[in-house]
Amino acid sequence: MDFSNIFVIFFICGVLFHFLLDFLLEFVDFSFRKKHGHEIPDAVKDFVDAETINKTCLYEDAKYRLWIPNAVLDLLLDFYLAVSGFYPVVLQNVLSWTENTFVAALLFFLIISIPGAIISIPFALYSEFGIEKHFGFSKMTMGLWITDQIKAILLSLVITSILLGAMIGLFKYATDFWWIFLGIVYVAFSLIISIVYPLFIAPLFNKFTPLEDGELKTRLEALLQKCGFKASGLFVMDASKRSGHSNAYFTGFGKSKRVVLYDTLIQQLTTDEIEAVLGHELGHYKHHHIIKRMCVMIPLIFVVLFVVNCLVRLPELYNGFGFGTNGIISYKMFFIGIFLTGLVFSGYSRIQGVIANFFSRRDEFQADAFSAKICGSGEPLISALIKLNKENLSEIQVPKIYSAFNYNHPPLLERISAISK
C-alpha cells in the first residue's frame, strides 16, 4: 500500500472518520441516557411506567456494550485487509484459477467477504440469543437462525450473480458507456425486485395469511378505498415466530402491492390504533413520497456511476492498493476499480445518511399529519406510537445530534408534539 497515494489517504481518513463519528455519537447517546433516560416525560406518563423505562435503559446499554468491540474489530479488520495486501493476493489467486472475468469477479467478492462474515457471526449470535432473548424479544431457535442465514446467503448470491453478470457484460461490450446501461439495468432490476419480493422472496422467510374477516379488516379496507389505494390484499405476517418486535408496511409494486401487518402489531394495538398506523402508511402514498424519492435517486444513480466510470480508469486508484497496472487499465479490471471506489469512499456514507434522514423525517411528519386528518383525530396514532415505542423498548428521549445521524424517523416526543399541533 502506498500511503502517499491520494486514494489511500481518502480511504484512511474515511475509515477513521466513520469510526470516530460513530463512537462519539454512541457515547453521547449513552451519556444522555445515563442523565435523562429514567425520566418519564409528561406526554407518555399515562402509558409508560418506571419499570419499562428502566428496562429500556438496560436494553440500550446492552446493545451499546456489544457495539463497542464490534466496531473496534471492524475498524482493525478494514485496515488490516487493505494494508496487508489481502485484496491483490485474492485477485492474483482467482485469476490463476480461471480466465473467465465473471467467475473471477464472483470468486473475488465471495472470498473477500469471508473475514468480515466470520467476525460478525459471534456478535450476531450474542445479539440474537443473548440480548434479544434476555429482554423477551427473540423467539428464534438456533436451527431457524442457521436456516435464515443460509437462505439469505443464497438469495444474496443469486442477486449478486445477476447484477455482476450484467456489469461484466457491459464492461466488455459497452466499455465507454457501460455506466449508462448499468444504471438502466439497476433501476429496472430494482423495480422487478419490488414486484417479485412480496410474491416469492418474503415467503421464503415468513408465512403470510390473509387478514381474517371482522371489524379490523372492514375498517382497513374502507380506509384503503377512501384513499384510493388499490392493494392485492391485507396480510398478516407471522413475525412472532422470530421476534416480539412489531411493525406494518406496504410492499410490492403495481398489482403485487399488498398491506402487511405483523401479528405482534395486531396483538399490541387496538383497531383504532392499527387504522391510524395504516393511515400513516397511506400518507406516504398520498404525498407520493416513494415517487418523489425515485425522482431524486434515479438521476443520482447515474451521476454516481459516471463518477465511478471516471475513477476506474485511473491507474492511481489501483496502484495505491497494490494492484499493479503498468499504466494500462483493461475493462477486465473495472470490477476491481468499482470495489476500490466503494472501499475508498464508503467511510463518508454518514454524510449522505444525515441528509437522507432529514428528508425522510420530513416525509414522516407529513404522513403523521395525513393519518390524523384521515382518521379524524391524532390521538389513536399518538397512543399507537407510544405503545410501539414501549413494546420495542425504544428510547423516548435521544440527543438531537444522535437522532440526526441515526434516525430516519423523528424521535417519539417530536412526533407526538407535531401530531398534537
**Residues belonging to the active site:** 281, 368
| Cα(333)–Cα(147) distance, integer angstroms | 35
- Of the candidates 247, 234, 250, the residue with the CA atom closest to the CA atom of residue 283: 250
DSSP 229-287: ---S-EEEE-GGGTBS---EEEE-SGGG-EEEEEHHHHHHS-HHHHHHHHHHHHHHHHT
CA distances from 202 to 42, 161, 242, 251 (A): 40, 20, 14, 10
Q: Which amino acid is at 347?
A: G
The answer to whether the CB of 138 falls within 8 A of the CB of 128 is: yes
Angle (CA) 64 383 40, round 5° = 50
Give the count of alpha carbons within 13 A of 203, CB side only: 8
The answer to whether the CB of 241 falls within 8 A of the CB of 206 is: yes
Sign of the four-CA dihedral 120, 122, 126, 128: positive
| Cα(264)–Cα(207) distance, integer angstroms | 14
Alpha-carbon dihedral angle through residues 393, 394, 399, 403, given to the nearest 10 degrees: 160
Point out which residues pair with 234 in neighbouring strands. 259
SS3 of residue 210 by DSSP: strand
The answer to whether the CB of 208 falls within 8 A of the CB of 235 is: yes
